[in-house]
Amino acid sequence: MNHGLLARILYATYLAALFLFLFAPIAVVVVFAFDAKGIATPPFEGPTLRWFRAVLADPVLQQAAANSAKIAVITVILCILIGTPAAFAIARLNGRGVRAFALVISMPLMLPTLLVGVTLMAMFSSLGVGLSMWTATVGHVLVTLPFLVFTLSARITSIDPQLAEAAANLGATPAQTFRRITLPLIGSALACAGLLVLGWSIDEFTVSFFNMGGGSTLPMAIWGQMRGGVSPTVNAISTIMLGLTVFIILVVHRLGNIAALGGKTG
């Protein structure tokens, strides 16, 4: 199909306006993270790194960041351990059991996250399990698992199963076939999905909010500071978290799997 110049201009204008709608608020936060006043109201009164230094020196925020990092790393490990075999089953095997499994595994993503957080908290509490970093991690795995499983199974579906069969015919044990044939083929997809789960977990608020007990994470620290009135460091924490997101997405893009998220395009 041919697209005239007018159509191109119209679409380009629309895309620019839409991205302004998506990114302008974030850009304001980032700019004012460097403002001397410490609140995001114009005019901009001059650059400072004061708020970033304050964030890095705050022991409460250090603890929150450490919790976020620990939860995210454990979430990625558990997701990969549980999700990789699950992705193989969904990609390679059929039958009612696998279809039911695919449905159940995607349910935490189809329900409001609030309900996932609340149900988990209610169960832990009624069993007398104390809320901690670990109970929050369980929730993080629940909400990120469907994403990892379905990204990975899409990749596995696109691999020729005859490759693994050929290796087996040539005398490789199942373990050797997995390590030498299958793993290299799914490696980059696994790394991409793992990194995105890492970023998602660091940003996840709702599940932690209900299951952390007395502890805190970075998003919970933002929530707490916002509810507590004026706090000049929120802009700086937000900027650090946004920077981390951009970094992760760029690494994933380098590894070459971003377009796969939107189906086959271009």
Unique residue bearing structure tokens 């924490």: 237
Site for another protein in 142-201 (CB under 8 A): 142, 145, 149, 196, 199-200
C-alpha distance from residue 21 to each of 27, 59, 71 (Å): 11, 35, 32
Going by C-alpha positions, the residue among 91, 106, 186, 198 that lies closest to residue 146 is: 106
Interacting residue with another protein among 42, 47, 130, 161 (CB under 8 A): 42
Alpha-carbon distances of 112 from 92, 117, 265, rounded to whole Å: 30, 9, 29
CB of 90 to another protein, least distance (A): 8
Only one of the segments 39-47, 50-58, 155-163, 177-185 lies at the binding site for another protein (rule: CB under 8 A); that segment is: 39-47
Which of 95, 128, 214, 229 binds another protein (CB under 8 A)? It is 95
Instruction: Check binding of 129 to another protein (CB under 8 A).
Output: no
Under the binding rule (CB under 8 A), the answer on residue 19 touching another protein is yes
- Is residue 30 within 8 Å of 239, Cβ to Cβ? yes
The CA distance from 6 to 117, in Å, is 49
Out of 101, 128, 155, 254, the only residue in the binding site for another protein (CB under 8 A) is 101
Site for another protein in 222-251 (CB under 8 A): 222-223, 226, 234-235, 238, 241-242, 245-246, 248-249
Nearest distance, CB of residue 107 and another protein, angstroms: 7
Q: Between residue 52 and residue 91, which ones bind another protein under the rule CB under 8 A?
A: 81-83, 85-86, 88-89
* Torsion sign (Cα): 232, 133, 213, 122: positive
**Minimum distance, C-beta of residue 24 to another protein, in the bound complex (Å):** 7
Residues 238 and 29 sit within 8 Å (Cβ to Cβ): yes
Kindly tell me which residue out of 47, 60, 97, 176 binds another protein, with binding defined by CB under 8 A: 97
Q: Does 116 bind another protein (CB under 8 A)?
A: yes
Angle at which helix 133-157 crosses helix 96-110, to 10 degrees, equals 130
* Binding piece for another protein, criterion CB under 8 A, among 59-67, 92-100, 163-171, 177-185: 92-100
Q: Is 74 or 202 the residue whose CB approaches another protein more closely?
A: 202
- Residue 212 contacts by C-beta under 8 Å, 6 or more apart in sequence? 67, 131, 132, 133, 135, 136, 220
DSSP per-residue codes, 1-14: ----HHHHHHHHHH
Q: Residue 36 or residue 123: which is nearer to another protein going by CB?
A: 123
